[in-house]
Structure 1
């Protein structure tokens, strides 16, 4: 006779519900089974009756249990279930007469499984697989199985079982994949897989292999062997044997680690591991809470490196895209390419691309950033000019080119964040080479400055913008439409301005000159008490805060404007308010020009905080983000300006000299690295100032100013508009693409020609928009016979239909210009300000224009254009554009 099956209270409950359907008045159920549960009684779900269970394997025990139940429950209808192995023919009619169906009921396990899923029956294939029924009865969650319809299918049953065994919900739509299994292998649930019965393990492996692919078979074998936590690291290392022509040592080394896995099965496993790691790395890169994914990838790849070292495969895996040791090898290859007299740009570019392709690049972007700076400097060196035609030329080239060199040098100075000594030495070599070229530029500038200073004044500045002219030449034209906020970042040099400018994507930057940020020449010497006072009063002078406030008001009073200037003590608010009430009130009044002096950068130079800083962020500068937000809220333009720049301490020695007045200027005769300055803008009278950045006359600080180097004498000026409706007449939109020098981003297309002021596009089909020409110059002779992609879209029937759906649509030529500008980019992306520049006056309100552009081009909801990076950039899908507007490829 077949041994009785073992059951628990859940099986008993299902059996009771089934048997009571037509015997509700019965109180005894005899079951051929063994009861293996500590639950002796339980309420019957959905009824007031309780079920009591007794396990007896003799007729006498069964009878006594029934009599005791009758005695204990004379007045209720509680049910007694007796599980037994006694054959039915041995029972007397005195017991059978009370039992449901007057017999011992067998356990139909498949039927019980169906009931646990709320089904009427099960797929015949479920009945045929004992391991599946056993598993489903054993693994039922405390909350029960999910409802499965009238018939429980094999696929539904196995998915439910896997969901319980893997400790996660497996989607019923078939989306279970290798990535899910690999993630499971790293958890505690994987360790319990080997505890399942061999039959269930084999059944699950077969189904998962059929469903997920051969990668599942390799993974589950590793799990069974107790290698669950090393499964993914082994998959990374196994890539050396999965590729074409694997080295002999790889097969020998991996044989003991991966067993019988080979060929297509092994390749499927390594592909699954690499795909999962790539997905996790992307999640770590783009997710707001990407740290868990980042940790997972690091844990896997670092363990992979350990395994590779143990089996002596590190060298064979140098080309691997996941091992940290391979990343280090690529970084060292880049270091070799950029350093020394044989540095080759082509090799450096290829090494940088290879580095970016490695998954560790996503986990350590700070290391890649330093590598990018090194390659950028090598690019710059190919075309570097050390001549300076004039002071105006030096300042203009500094703000648009050389300041970016200083920015890269600042990053490179700190070396590799990973601490690789070989790479660090290479970066130092690049830094020293570039710095020597920078010294020659500063020396040439100082020579021009020496002769220029003797006669330079606001009357005749030889084409240079003077710091005392910034309010009149820049802030005053901006103020003609609405009062601006003038923010003075004391000590900001061109390199800092370049970094901050990249973070102001929500603003439209503009300038007087096409394609170039404005910059002024600081007063001499380039120190706060002279240069800042000259800036804020509009005349070359010296003084403190009182002089600055009175001079600021006086300057604007002559232009029929009220004005208020706020220094540090005037800005800070009371408890519960970031800014002072007086400053809030001034910002709220559209007739008052507001000035604010922020000292964070200058203070950092004095107190040593700049020394360890790689770059400044907006939030690093106290009150800056708050002031910018308030200005934007009130619709105010912002003039973000410095009073002088600075150089950083790079370990130079204190120079002993006579007549020392400050860290970077003194009285007396010039020596090596210094220049003698005299003239109407040299406020204290004749002086000597160093042009070399490593000269100082006072004890060490984080940085210095007052000297004659370009970094100190250049005053960056950024004009930011909340709306292009405030664009002064004759001024130009300055997209981020135009502020960066070509070598910074290695653009193949860059504006070298001057553009006309932004204006409404011409209605003539073949005339290119000047703003577009400025961003993306083309051969004028080639324009006439060719109809651009944008023209083809804007002249088509689909576009005309879209125009009818948009109230007051922009001019067709403006939209065509935007399409052409985006299509010209390799990745189809431009900053919002660049798109506005291409559209011209049609994008006076960039946010509104982007919205309208989407309504015009996103036919049927397909994303032809989309705003990405939090509104900072616009992306064109060329494929969707051609499909939706019926444009054939040329």
Structure 2
């Protein structure tokens, strides 16, 4: 026997590898003696590669004696068909007879060199030397045993340890292709593997040395998290591995308690080090963030990712409860229970200052499931906080009809938008949150009711004499075409889209969506969104005809068509008006061909869209609370057609509406002379009503009674109503949209998005960065000398340094605030950058724009940036895009994006941190 040598167990793969490396040296010999023991049950006959596509037949036998070797050889000689005989044995070579030695390949018993076999299997000339030393001695035999049916990929001259381990891990764990080539080895792939059927079981079935080696290699390449994951797999918890990683987050941060650590140890086992658990938690969080990113899109893949995320996090919540870790994980940014905890905190702050509620809402929004699962709940919470800000603002007043309708379009209609959504509520909200929402809703609703009452008081005397001849400075609905559409037609005939029943709340949402996408700009002749006053009562038959005919008139579609054409004929223009039945095209064509041709012509085109008004009568409760462009039938297609033809668009209502928000058991109000849900005839107005008369009243011989209170209706319940005297019904919002600013009438300008939204709508937590730092100006002798020089590089202004003159102290005057913009333009780097830019704007202009962006949270529309530049003395004839281009050349040092255009180049973003870094400004807390 081979003294002192361990007899290795050999199988077909080892024999095949051994022969493949030695067949070239057989020199016609057909007997191969190999030191070892052939595995029991292995195939006795098979073929092996012989080069150039040929194969040789092999027969394998095992024996423990010289006589057995001789018998096997004689039997082989008498057997036809076999080419080579391989005998595995533990007999020593000095006992073999000379006649057998003469038949043996290499004339000796061959010892198996697994490294040589591995080289052959991978087509390599050599191996990484580490594979021949501890702790990697197990690797060659593992590679031989794990060879896939198609063979190992060929690795070139040298098989590196990393390439060998990538190949082995891929096959052993069922991750073929994942770790191939130069692909990064990360826990993301391992977590996905842990959830595959049978994946963890494959690892558990490996020999212990191989398990340990794979774990150590993954720890080196994928981080400390990998061994934790593999231990979970060995313990039968592979399918819970991702969820358990969320629990491990209790170890992150300084707030981890001893009790939580003990509870976590019982889950993972006491063998896991705290550093490993922290690394594992971070790795799982990174994976979950990627999964959530995949889940935010649309389609089957996004839905699959969304379901995967939810399954894992619901499982994590359950495991946390079982391990008594729910309290420690109450603020976790992934768990559904953590989201509920943040909402409970929001509910508490809604009874406090608005800033506390704002901070709490932003904390809710930062939950990682906010976008993928809770988008509507997040938006609803935001509406509550917005109303909180509005309630904290100075109490609004009504001074005139004109002031009220403009305030309603600019501010109170946005309140209505928030109120409508808050009225519908959150079906999944806990009682404490429901109560908080109701409290905010009722307070805002009460304030809105006082405004409606005050408006009705102004409307009553105003209606008695208001007309086109005497509008009292108010835009009347009959003058919308004359004062807006006619001016647009001077450059390009507009498309007039009448959204029947569109309230200011709906207009606010539609305008926000249309201008936010960057495809449309909103125009204005006086720096604000247009608002007109409806005829009385505020119903379709009166107001739509009046709008389209350009004069007070009541009538149906025939009156509207004829009046629209006649109005534009007076302005020497052809016109066409299309109603509901004339919009849809035949099969295969969305829009009627006549409508398509009209929009392509030079005629003024009007289209009436009834979606909103129809929903008042037939919609369900809540169906009118949230409007997007695609919910208004044909609106998207008509806007696209107008854009394709280069037409401006007048998006206008004929009247607004109020929603039904009465109690479920509340019935109609009993009254005399009921003509509609929201107006009646009669002799006297009751509580919540106003009597209106005059030239603007086209029903009942010029006198009607209409409710200003939204609580009153005279007919059975519907989703919403029109016809009353509330601001939401009487205000006619007008949005003027253009695909190109070049279509703006003379004297008109683009409305920045920031000027359309009320300031409380996008309120933010006031960051420390917005607090301006002031300095004390050194006192001087009178009279003052030359202006103070700008600080040189390396100098700084002392906050409290005061120069004391030799005579009596002079009055101390504060310097202007040292804002972020001023700090930037006073640096040497800014001065240096200006040498490479043509027509550098004045420093105060650049500083003002930086400060405007800073104060807005980092983003502004192009129009708002241009407005900030002009307000600080910039040139009025500079195009916003050109001005921003100059800013990028001034501020984007070495290509770092301090200033950039986003949202299809319609908004400007300031990266505040990069700005401070590039211009070497001190840190904010320094």
TM-score of the aligned structures, taking structure 1 as reference length:
0.86
> Alignment partner for residue 231 of structure 2, among 193, 197, 221?
221
> Alignment partner for residue 56 of structure 2, among 51, 54, 59?
51
Distance 1:304 1:552, change over 3 A: same
Residue 344 (1) aligns with residue 353 (2): yes
Pairwise CA distance, 1:701: 1.2
Provide, for residues 148-198 of structure 1, a one-character-per-residue CA deviation record: whole Å limited to 9, x for no partner. 332222233223322333333226558323444333333332232211111
Comparing 324-333 and 845-854, the one that deviates more: 845-854
Aligned match of 1:704: 721
Aligned match of 1:545: 557
Partners of 1:650 and 1:387 in 2: CA distance? 24
8 Å Cα contact 2:524-2:736 kept in structure 1 = no
Pairwise CA distance, 1:306: 1.2
Residue 828 (1) aligns with residue 861 (2): no
Residue 739 (1) aligns with residue 773 (2): no
Residue 631 (1) aligns with residue 631 (2): no
Comparing 692-701 and 48-57, the one that deviates more: 48-57
Distance 1:308 1:605, change over 3 A: same
Comparing 104-113 and 388-397, the one that deviates more: 104-113
Distance 1:815 1:119, change over 3 A: farther
Distance 1:316 1:881, change over 3 A: closer
Distance 1:529 1:581, change over 3 A: same
Residue 578 (1) aligns with residue 590 (2): yes
Residue 426 (1) aligns with residue 429 (2): no
Aligned match of 2:362: 353
8 Å Cα contact 1:478-1:728 kept in structure 2 = yes
* 2:119 partner SS: helix
> Alignment partner for residue 136 of structure 1, among 114, 139, 143?
143
Aligned match of 1:713: 730
Partners of 1:825 and 1:24 in 2: CA distance? 87
Comparing 481-490 and 820-829, the one that deviates more: 820-829
Residue 196 (1) aligns with residue 206 (2): yes
Distance 1:414 1:81, change over 3 A: farther
Distance 1:97 1:519, change over 3 A: farther
Comparing 707-716 and 79-88, the one that deviates more: 79-88
Aligned match of 2:383: 373
> Alignment partner for residue 555 of structure 1, among 561, 567, 574?
567
Aligned match of 2:783: none
Residue 329 (1) aligns with residue 344 (2): no
8 Å Cα contact 1:650-1:694 kept in structure 2 = yes
Matches within 5 A, 1:252-291: 252-260=262-270, 261-285=272-296, 290-291=302-303
Pairwise CA distance, 1:518: 1.1
Aligned match of 2:633: 622
Partners of 1:617 and 1:286 in 2: CA distance? 18
Residue 496 (1) aligns with residue 506 (2): yes
In terms of fraction of residues, the more helix-rich structure is 1
* 2:475 partner SS: coil
Provide, for residues 11-51 of structure 1, a one-character-per-residue CA deviation record: whole Å limited to 9, x for no partner. 44443332234558666655445266569545738633123
8 Å Cα contact 1:854-1:866 kept in structure 2 = yes
Pairwise CA distance, 1:794: 12
Partners of 1:845 and 1:553 in 2: CA distance? 37
Pairwise CA distance, 1:256: 2.4
Distance 1:877 1:613, change over 3 A: same
* 2:52 partner SS: coil
8 Å Cα contact 1:465-1:520 kept in structure 2 = yes
Comparing 493-502 and 252-261, the one that deviates more: 252-261
Matches within 5 A, 1:160-179: 160-168=167-175, 169-170=178-179, 173=182, 175-179=184-188
8 Å Cα contact 1:119-1:151 kept in structure 2 = yes
Distance 1:72 1:136, change over 3 A: closer
Segments of structure 1 that go 5 or more residues without pairing to the other structure are: 74-78, 750-778, 804-808
Provide, for residues 96-121 of structure 1, a one-character-per-residue CA deviation record: whole Å limited to 9, x for no partner. 65554344433321122222222112
Pairwise CA distance, 1:492: 0.9
8 Å Cα contact 1:788-1:820 kept in structure 2 = no
Pairwise CA distance, 1:688: 1.0
Comparing 361-370 and 735-744, the one that deviates more: 361-370
8 Å Cα contact 2:518-2:904 kept in structure 1 = no
Pairwise CA distance, 1:4: 5.2
Partners of 1:555 and 1:61 in 2: CA distance? 117
Distance 1:334 1:25, change over 3 A: same
Distance 1:798 1:727, change over 3 A: same
8 Å Cα contact 1:814-1:838 kept in structure 2 = no
* 1:525 partner SS: coil
Partners of 1:310 and 1:849 in 2: CA distance? 60
Partners of 1:406 and 1:711 in 2: CA distance? 8
Pairwise CA distance, 1:517: 1.2
Partners of 2:576 and 2:509 in 1: CA distance? 28
Residue 296 (1) aligns with residue 308 (2): yes
8 Å Cα contact 2:497-2:607 kept in structure 1 = yes
> Alignment partner for residue 678 of structure 1, among 671, 684, 693?
693
Comparing 631-640 and 227-236, the one that deviates more: 227-236
Matches within 5 A, 1:240-255: 240=250, 243-244=253-254, 246-255=256-265
Root-mean-square deviation (CA, aligned residues, Å) is 3.6
8 Å Cα contact 1:53-1:83 kept in structure 2 = no
Matches within 5 A, 1:346-745: 346-362=355-371, 363-504=373-514, 505-512=517-524, 514-589=526-601, 591-609=602-620, 611-612=622-623, 614-651=625-662, 652-668=666-682, 669-684=684-699, 685-745=702-762
* 2:165 partner SS: helix
Residue 20 (1) aligns with residue 23 (2): yes
Segments of structure 2 that go 5 or more residues without pairing to the other structure are: 64-68, 767-813
Pairwise CA distance, 1:710: 0.8
* 1:697 partner SS: coil
> Alignment partner for residue 126 of structure 2, among 112, 121, 126?
121
Distance 1:195 1:399, change over 3 A: same
Comparing 609-618 and 669-678, the one that deviates more: 609-618
Partners of 2:21 and 2:87 in 1: CA distance? 16
Name which one, 1 or 2, has greater alpha-carbon Rg: 2
Partners of 1:371 and 1:838 in 2: CA distance? 32
8 Å Cα contact 1:572-1:578 kept in structure 2 = yes
8 Å Cα contact 1:443-1:692 kept in structure 2 = yes
* 2:342 partner SS: helix
8 Å Cα contact 2:521-2:741 kept in structure 1 = no
Pairwise CA distance, 1:880: 5.2
8 Å Cα contact 1:215-1:269 kept in structure 2 = yes
Pairwise CA distance, 1:715: 1.0
Partners of 1:597 and 1:820 in 2: CA distance? 44
Comparing 487-496 and 410-419, the one that deviates more: 410-419
8 Å Cα contact 1:724-1:846 kept in structure 2 = no
8 Å Cα contact 1:723-1:845 kept in structure 2 = no
Partners of 1:856 and 1:241 in 2: CA distance? 45
Aligned match of 2:810: none
Comparing 361-370 and 375-384, the one that deviates more: 361-370
Partners of 1:707 and 1:498 in 2: CA distance? 21
Tell me the matched-pair count: 846
Distance 1:54 1:418, change over 3 A: farther
Pairwise CA distance, 1:719: 0.9
Pairwise CA distance, 1:333: 2.0
Pairwise CA distance, 1:491: 0.9
Aligned match of 2:163: 156
8 Å Cα contact 1:538-1:555 kept in structure 2 = yes
